[in-house]
Structure 1
Amino acid sequence: MRTRHFHFLLALVFAALSLVINRPNALTVTLMVGMTLLSLTLGFGKKLRLFWTLCLPFVLYLQVGHGHLEKQALRPASQGQERLLVHADQLKIAEDGRIRGQGKTARGEKLLFSYAAKDQADVDRWAQLSGTYWLFGQADKTPIMGPTNDYQFDFRAYWQSQKVTHTLCFKEVAIQPADAQNPWQALLFACHRAHAAAERWTDRLPNPLRDYALSLILASKGSQLYDNNPMIAELGLIHLFALSGLHVAFLTRFLREGFLLARISREVGDGLLAFFLPLFFLFTGLPAVLFRAMLSGEMKLFGRNFRLRIDPIKSWSWSLIGSLIVYPQLLLTMGGQLSFALTLAVIISQGSNIWQRGLFLSLVTFPFILATQYSWNLWQTLANILAVPVFTVVVLPVTLVGYFACWIPGVCPITNTIIQLFDKAVALAGALPGKIVIGALSWPVLVLLFLLPFFALGAKKSSKKLAIATWLFLLLGNSAFVHWPKQGEWTTFDIGQGDAAVLIEPRHKTITMIDTGGKVQFGPRPHYSTGRPTDTRPKVVQNKALKQQEGLARSVIVPYLHAKGIAHINTLALSHQDQDHIGDSRVILQNFKVDQLVIPAGMRSLPAFQRKIQPYLQKTKVIEATDQTKVPNCPLQILYPFAAGLAGNDDSLAWGGRLGGQTIYTAGDLDQSGETKILTKYPEFVPDIVKFGHHGSKTATDPKVFAQWQPTIGLISAGRNSRYGHPHQEVLDVAKEEKMIVYNTQSQGMLRYVYQEKHGHFEVSYHDPAGPKRTN
């Protein structure tokens, strides 16, 4: 028991050290202090000295690695000839001809890369690759950009945890086969070649069996499993597919049974398994989350053959220590966190029945899912209880049989039907009413929500009741603060070339959203054959087509509003019919209950509205408005248009209102003529904060109007490297003439005006030292 305590504490301190050195913040510093205090339970003798003697080399190792990575991340953007070593199974070829992947330079630096194929022949050149190659060509090398909106997924931090800090954009590429320079490299190249061939083997499988095989057996980057069934993640089942190592344990058992049938002795079989596990790890591309499963499997084999009883907690502890030595930033990823949290939970709950274990695992995953999705599906607990045995007994073996025996007549249809039933059951469970938007809870609460189930599991009845009551109190109490904030805000999202803003009144009295952004397509979208099968299921094809038309609402607006505890929007206003203002309306209407949709009078009969918005309205009331329309339950007043029109730029809805002691004006793409009409009709309206019309185009921002208004703050919502050159210099000259403070999403990301009663201030989410990126 004492030695187990020592190993367990050592693993926890190693984990805390890796977190605090690689990402120092309040949470990681607190964890480090807590683990340091816990280490004192070893006493003040030899054990404690040995403990920290083991930790010291790890600290130095982490510091050196982190310093090197930080230095690498600070390298500025550059252009020039680049040479990159790439494996064929690390490539993804999209139907629009965009090739993306990951590779290494001759110096060993990992880089992401992209390349736009010129034609079908160019796509075919990439599709035929099957081994390891050098890519040569002129490329732009840029640092991976971090999030520019609050609660947006941090791709820079994620890739930095994989030791990747930059990306290459090739303009032209020459491809040359790479030769191995040593035996280790030869083995690695062979594994990647075999993995690429194994992925090709799945081409003969129907979907969803193909996606399940790619995820469960091959850990392939080419799987579309989570895109085709997002409910897997929402129901907290993602750990079954890629994180917990269940499929590795199953494959090990499968091989062991095969050895017994072949009358291979246990010792020889275990020797083959000891060789198979690291080979499988190499074969799947060295994924960090599988290293734990491989290490744990090797320790079990070692203990069994040398008659050593390795305690499960010790095995877990040294799996964590070994994983952190090889992958120091593993616990910075949700995959690494879930993998070790769930395996520890499985070990601790071994004496529980299936219902208790399912509930326990669901509670353990709860804070991790809440920290990223800000919502909880009430069906998740039941899904975990039922899915784990079904997954182990049915899904894994059926996928394995379907993959390896697909050449036998009848096997593919039968196995695919079984997988399809499971896939549909997950999708159906996720679609049932029961999703609750909780919001972004504070990190101390999330940590306690994670720890309390572990405490309750082994506690006495009275202590268990106290733990449950504390868990509920923390959840409901913190959620109440999120749902009823005392401050209000007017937030302009950074969604590229487009407009999207939300007005949240204090205590969430009303939620008003103005425009949704949208993906603007310039010219016809190319379509090429990639040489791989496409999913022909009607719903999948439809969803894929719709996603290709989406802008950033799903990755920017939805998580932000959910983090704020918002599931209900009182008013969604669309300023006019342009794609960059209304293109993502479908995403908003499908993810939130919307009471009323306000559009400029005359827009409802237009084809854009009928095609992009009408099919998704459900019970939302549509209001076609002019300046005479009084919108109920909305704190803003409509200033324009004065009459029905065709919902063009000159018919854009203009809004004004008083927030936090400041008068605010926003008007979509309204031109200078419309601004003049508003000034003439409403001479008493004098805004303090103005969103420059048409993304800072010179077609708006009339100097004469602004000379009358004399606003103090201007907001620009425009895309980086805008092909239109937004904001135009003429607009910036007007701002300079009026001595305005200008906030720009191009250089400052999300812009938030936070207010309470008659006072407010601005907050930005990003700072680009180079300033706005503009083209002429």
Structure 2
Amino acid sequence: MVAITLILLTLVYFEFSFIWLSLIILIAIRVFFLRQRKLLLLWIVLAVIWLGWLTCWNKAQLANRLQHNEQLSDQHIIVAPDEIQVDGDLVKFKGRWQEKNQRIQGYYRLQSLSEKSKWLHQAQTADLTVSGDFSSVSGPTNENQFDYQRYLGSQRIVNQVFVKKMVLKSHINSTTLTDLIAWLHELRWQLLKQLDQLDNPLKSYGQLLLLGYYNADYDQQIQQINQLGLLYLFSLSGMHVFYLLRVIRWLFTYLKITRETYEWFCLLLLPIYAVLGGLSASLLRAVLMSWLIIFFQRLKLRLSGVTAECLVLIVNLAYSPLLLFSLGFQLS
């Protein structure tokens, strides 16, 4: 009931509909007729706190959004190699805008083949010094058009830059945590390049299923998969995480390694694989569910799958409520 209430409140807040509002009223009536004053009070407090959080989150997003188009120079953006896509003569990347301390979507038009080759083989986290046009991400202009603003908003990206001039150099990390995260992104890039050596369609299947990477050349194959009704399998639903854990458990049992060692190993491995898998909403759901269940086992406590899924849902929505509107989140 808690998870359903939070979902409906999020839908009402960001996309008001009398259907969602009616469902919330029905839940309120149901709680009221349970005749448990403490439960009713707790439900009301939870709803108020959640609406307050949604308001604060939305205000923070609006505060980060640029109100006008700005031409800025010598801005620094840190970009991981696996967040770079080269599509013809256009480079698309996501990175952290250092001056504003926020993530940003970037576009850059390549000037030469040598420059394209350099971007294709960029294997390390890069520190970009850019000059260009900075603006907020625009919303849809036509009815039923794909809402790119909401899509990037679910990743907490509200601004974009069209780069006119750029200086690229390797980024020097300063802390152990940033070193580790950068190394994992670089490892993911190396794995993507290894899979890229396979023949199609195996190459695209491996990159999408194992590492959550969508290749721009994959559009035609996606249409064929959609016609076969198998698109759900390629949405990185996270089911493969449970099979991965089963394989590891079988291997540890075969090698006669203790269950405690297996559990500690999984607690360490799962966050690493979440980064390698691209941190998609559906993958995070599966990873966090598995991690919580194993963690509670280490504490000698029992956590059901339904409770774990509700906790993961709350964490995901608290981090980015707009995830609710993403296809991967809904399929999960």
TM-score (ref. length: structure 1): 0.40
Structure 1 stretches of 5 or more lacking a match? Answer: 1-8, 340-776
One-letter amino acid matched to 2:267? A
Pick the aligned partner of 1:268 from 243, 256, 261: 261
The equivalent residue for 1:135 is: 128
Q: More displaced, 190-199 or 13-22?
A: 13-22
The structure with the largest helix share of the pair is 2
1:366-765 residue pairs with structure 2 within 5 A?
none
Measured after TM superposition, the shift of residue 214 of structure 1 is 0.4
Answer yes or no: is 1:191 the counterpart of 2:176. no
Alignment CA distance shift 1:192-1:324 (3 Å): same
The higher-RCO structure (CA 8 Å, 6+ apart) is: 2
Pick the aligned partner of 1:151 from 134, 140, 144: 144
Alignment CA distance shift 1:222-1:229 (3 Å): closer
Secondary structure of the structure 2 residue equivalent to 1:139: strand
The equivalent residue for 1:662 is: none
CA deviations on 1:495-548 (whole Å, 9 max, x unpaired) are xxxxxxxxxxxxxxxxxxxxxxxxxxxxxxxxxxxxxxxxxxxxxxxxxxxxxx
Secondary structure of the structure 1 residue equivalent to 2:68: coil
| Matched-pair identity in % | 25
Contact 1:73 / 1:143 at 8 angstroms: preserved in 2? yes
Distance of 2:197 and 2:282 partners within structure 1: 28
The equivalent residue for 1:61 is: 53
The equivalent residue for 1:13 is: 5
Pick the aligned partner of 2:89 from 89, 97, 104: 97
Q: More displaced, 296-305 or 158-167?
A: 296-305
One-letter amino acid matched to 1:271? W
Higher-Rg member (1/2): 1
Distance of 1:98 and 1:162 partners within structure 2: 22
The equivalent residue for 2:306 is: 313
Pick the aligned partner of 2:244 from 245, 251, 256: 251
Alignment CA distance shift 1:79-1:294 (3 Å): same
RMSD of equivalent CA atoms: 2.2
Contact 1:85 / 1:134 at 8 angstroms: preserved in 2? yes
CA deviations on 1:532-585 (whole Å, 9 max, x unpaired) are xxxxxxxxxxxxxxxxxxxxxxxxxxxxxxxxxxxxxxxxxxxxxxxxxxxxxx
Answer yes or no: is 1:292 the counterpart of 2:285. yes
CA deviations on 1:178-213 (whole Å, 9 max, x unpaired) are 222322212211111111111111122111111111
Distance of 1:162 and 1:27 partners within structure 2: 27
Alignment CA distance shift 1:223-1:255 (3 Å): farther
Contact 1:199 / 1:214 at 8 angstroms: preserved in 2? yes
Distance of 2:301 and 2:111 partners within structure 1: 60
One-letter amino acid matched to 1:70? L
One-letter amino acid matched to 1:89? D
One-letter amino acid matched to 1:336? F
Answer yes or no: is 1:109 the counterpart of 2:126. no
Aligned length: 330
Secondary structure of the structure 2 residue equivalent to 1:173: strand
One-letter amino acid matched to 1:86? V
Alignment CA distance shift 1:232-1:130 (3 Å): same
Contact 1:139 / 1:170 at 8 angstroms: preserved in 2? yes
The equivalent residue for 1:283 is: 276
CA deviations on 1:337-383 (whole Å, 9 max, x unpaired) are 121xxxxxxxxxxxxxxxxxxxxxxxxxxxxxxxxxxxxxxxxxxxx
The equivalent residue for 2:175 is: 182
Contact 1:89 / 1:192 at 8 angstroms: preserved in 2? yes
Contact 2:209 / 2:236 at 8 angstroms: preserved in 1? no
Distance of 2:24 and 2:157 partners within structure 1: 26
Pick the aligned partner of 2:160 from 152, 155, 167: 167
Alignment CA distance shift 1:312-1:98 (3 Å): same
Distance of 1:248 and 1:223 partners within structure 2: 25
Secondary structure of the structure 2 residue equivalent to 1:50: helix
Pick the aligned partner of 1:48 from 33, 40, 45: 40
Secondary structure of the structure 2 residue equivalent to 1:329: helix
Alignment CA distance shift 1:305-1:225 (3 Å): farther
Q: More displaced, 270-279 or 55-64?
A: 55-64
Secondary structure of the structure 2 residue equivalent to 1:83: strand
TM-score (ref. length: structure 2): 0.90
Pick the aligned partner of 1:78 from 67, 70, 74: 70
